[in-house]
Every structure is written in C-alpha cells, then in structure tokens.
Structure 1
Amino acid sequence: MFIHKIDEEVSLRLIETRDAERVFELVDRHRLHLRTWLPWVDHTTKVEDTKEAIQGFRKGYAEDKSMTVVILYRDSVVGMTSFNKLDWTNKVAYIGYWLAEDYQGKGIMTKSAKAMTDFAFSSLKMNKVDITAAVENRASRAVPERLGFTEEGVIREEEWVNDRFVDHAVYGMLQREWC
C-alpha cells in the first residue's frame, strides 16, 4: 500500500474502498463550498457514488494511468489529491486536489502537492508536473504559486461548472527546475 508521511500531522495514502463513507461525508458536509469549483460534486449524492468513484480510481492506479490518494491530517481523511492523468509518453503528471473547508489555511494542501510533485519526479521519473485551477479560485491557484510553479497560460472556458464555463490557469514545473 502506498503511504507517505509528510510530517507529524500530514500524510498521504492510496485511496481504498474503506474510505468511501468518510470521503462522502466530507463532500456532503462541504458540498456548497466544493461545488463552486468541482463539477462532480453535484453527481455525488450517496455513498455508493463515492464507492464507484473509488473503484475507478483503483482501476486507474492498477493500469498506471492515474494515482489517487487521501490526505490524512492527524490520521483523519480531510481531502484528496491525485495524479488525474499520468502521460508516460510525454512524461507529464497532472495533479488535482480538494480539501474540506475546515482544514484550509493550515498548509495541508501545499505540503500534499509538494509531496506529489516530489514523487512524480523522484519515483515516477516524470519531466513535468502540471496543475490547473479555475482562474477565479484563488485558494487553489495559491498552491502551485507557493511551490514556485510557472503560470503557463489560461485555457478559456475549459470546464463546465454550475451552469457556467470557467477558465483555467495552467501551472507547470519541470524536473530540472524542481531539483
């Protein structure tokens, strides 16, 4: 099982079926906050939806196409981060993430994204890590900015969220810049 201890409070663990109830509870409790930027939240209405998603995450991991982990803060699941896509041909890992609102502002996501970036370069031998975030989502954009990623541009109307298109800022980090 993949588990990575970041510090005394934060660690990452490969998502498992047993996480479904806690992940669903977090999504449900923070639904209004999360749905502002995440289109899948409105389609996650019961624990079975989360279990089905986890099966997809596990399949993606088994096929070397993605890797989804839960973020643990003081041993409790508080969010998720992932390589939404692993492009082995071009050696690019695409990171995504979300965190329950109660746990924001503690540096948890920055630490988690840093650990994922480290893993992409050191273990997966990727050349590049990309992070995208809605242009108006300042909290999400602050993560790659704090980590020194380069803002590479904006993709217009990249995603349909809450009956509107949102533009995405694209951030990239090259392996040679990271090390």
Structure 2
Amino acid sequence: MFILPLRENAQLRPLEPAHAQEFLDHIDRARPNVDPWIPWATFSTDLASATATLQRYADRQATDTGRIYGIWQDGTLVGGVMFTRFDTASGNCEIGCWAEEAGQGLGLVNQACRALIDWAFGERGMSRVEWWVSSVNTRSIEAARRLGLTREGVLRRHTEYRGERRDIEIWSVLSDEWPPASCSTAPTDKDELDRLMSAFLGAFDNTNGSSPEVDVIRQVFIPQGMIISNTGTGPVVHDLDAFIEPRAKMLTDGTLTEFSEWEVSERTEIFESIAHRTSEYRKSGFHDGERFEGAGRKTTQFVRTPVGWRMAALTWEDE
C-alpha cells in the first residue's frame, strides 16, 4: 500500500474495505458537510453500508474504472479524494473530494486533488479531468477554482436530492492545460495565500444548514490583526474579537441565512515575507428573510510568520 506525504503529519493513501469502521466514524463526523453533496455519504450509516461503499470502490479499482483515497492528519482520517469515473477508452475521468471540519482550511484536499490529477495525466495519459458540483455547493466550487479548473456550463435541474432538483455545474481541465507534476505538487506561497483567503470567506458560510466557522478567522490572522470597513460614513476599525462576535450572532440567530461570499477576481503581489492582495467579491443570502445579493472590493495584507503565512490586515468596501 502506498503512502504519499502531503505535509507534516498528513498523508494520502488508499481507502479500503478494511478501513470501514474508521471510515464510518469519519463520515459520522463529516456528515453535515458531506451528506448533501456525495451520494454514498447518505447511505453509509452503519458498518455494513460503509463496508459496501468501500467495496464498490475496490471493485472499480479492480476494473480500472474508479478509485478512492483517504487523507489522514495526525493519524486520523479527516477527508479524501476519489475518481468517481475513470474511463481510459475515452480518456475522461471525474474527480471528487470531501472533508470533515478538522480537515478543512489546511490545503490538504487541494494537494490531494493535485496528486490525483498529476497521476491521471502524467501516468495514465488521460485527456480530461472533470469536476461535477451542485451549483449551491460553494465550497466545492471554490475548490475547483483554486485548482485552476474551467467552468464549462450547467446541467439544469440535473440531480434530485431529497425531493429537490438541483443544477449541476461542470468544471474541467485538459491535459495540455495542467502544469507538470514537478510544478504542481508542492504548495507555493500563492497557494498558501489563496488558502487563507478561501478560509476567511468560507468562515461565514451557513448555506444548506451548515454551521459558520467564524473562529477560523483567528487561525488565519495574526493575533494583532485588524479588519476595516470603509463602507458608508468612513473607516471603522475592528480587532478580531470586535469583528467576529456580532457576525457569529447574525449567522446563528436567524438574522443572516443561506449566506455565502466568494472572490470573482484577485491580484496578489508577494515580496519576500510580505504580500498584498486586491480582490473583487460577491455575496448572497437572506437578511431577515429577504433575499439579497451584493458585491465589493477587499485589500488584504499578509506576513510570513514562523508558522507560515497569516493575514495582518483586511479592508473592504461594499458597492
């Protein structure tokens, strides 16, 4: 059995039927994040069904039509990646991913996906890797964007989930668009800054009943970090606590629901141990039951610390 190190204390390795109990325990922890998006999570509810899920992938691997791999962090299964389809005759395959809360915001899923795409193109000669995602799964869409995939289109009302028809977006990358493995496996400074921004924006997401993770903001900022609003009458400067507390309340007391925020463009400049990023973003949700959409701009300053890149200050203005 191979083991691929992702970073310190994190590994990618095959998920096999023998891992069924560990897999079930992990899926139970991950279910709020995974169940709406990955069909087998809905059905892997006891040891027998979890074993059956892993056995189906073992059978697909035996016929070279699919594979599944787990991500272990500090010895605990926290997520994974998979080829849901692998068709060597057509040269097309589809990749997917998932993670529980402990495996999010660390860049592990991004690294694992890159390893699978490297292998599909470099070792197996595939022509095209696809990423199918529900149009309301903002985390997965952002993951596809960070990987550099291209959004090709939407299959309208393609998939039913608990009585609701959902649109499916198709993202893809072609073999001649993908950088060589030597260029793509190790995370760069830019990868780390992308991860921090994604974690910051994702901290407010409470779509589809998910819980916002606003405490992530303390992880991506230095303790002395500042967040500044320059919308309205003028600059309002917050320390981390002053910024987090009212937003945590709004996102959990019913004031702000189905909220998500995402970058639509960015420019990042890196100068040794400091960096600067300008972004345009969009957001949507319901405020006191009324639907809204918005957009704006952010500037973010980063510093390299002994434990990696961190945000130092962020300023935003809404349109």
> If the TM-score is normalised by the length of the shorter chain, which range does it land in?
over 0.9
1:172 aligned residue: 172
Q: Does 1:156 align with 2:156?
A: yes
- Range 51-60 or range 102-111, more displaced: 102-111
- 8 Å contact from structure 2 (residues 144, 171) kept in 1: yes
More strand by share: 2
Normalised TM-score (structure 2): 0.53
The offset of 1:22, in angstroms, is: 1.3
Counterparts in 2 of 1:46 and 1:25: CA distance versus 1, 3 Å: same
* Deviation of 1:71 (Å): 1.4
* Whole-angstrom CA distance in 2 between matches of 1:43 and 1:151: 29
Give 1:10 deviation, angstroms: 3.0
Q: Map of 1:61-140 to 2, 5 A cutoff? A: 61-140=61-140
Task: Write the deviation string for residues 28-76 of structure 1: whole angstroms up to 9, x where unpaired.
Answer: 2232332222333332220111111111111110111111111122332
| 1:86-133 Cα shifts (integer Å, max 9, x gaps) | 111221121011111232111121111111111111111111111111
Tell me the secondary structure at the aligned position of residue 29 of structure 1.
helix
Does the residue aligned with 1:24 lie in a helix, a strand or coil? helix
CA–CA separation in structure 1 for the residues paired with 2:158 and 2:12: 29
Which aligned segments of 4 or more residues in structure 1 are displaced greater than 4 angstroms?
A: none
Count of residues in correspondence between the two structures: 179
Unpaired runs of 5+ in structure 2? 180-319
The aligned residue for residue 274 of structure 2 is none
Task: Give the match for residue 25 of structure 1.
Answer: 25
SS of the aligned residue for 2:111 comes to helix
TM-score (norm 1): 0.92
What amino acid maps onto 1:178 in structure 2?
W
| Higher relative contact order structure (alpha carbons within 8 Å, sequence separation ≥ 6) | 1
Unaligned runs of 5+ in 1: none
| Separation in 1, partners of 2:47, 2:131 | 28
The answer to whether the 8 A contact 1:23-1:79 is kept is no
Name the % identity: 28
After superposing the two structures, state which structure 1 stretch, 65-74 or 145-154, moved more.
65-74
Larger Rg: 2
Partners of 1:35 and 1:162 within 8 A in 2: no
Deviation at 1:18, TM superposition (A): 2.5
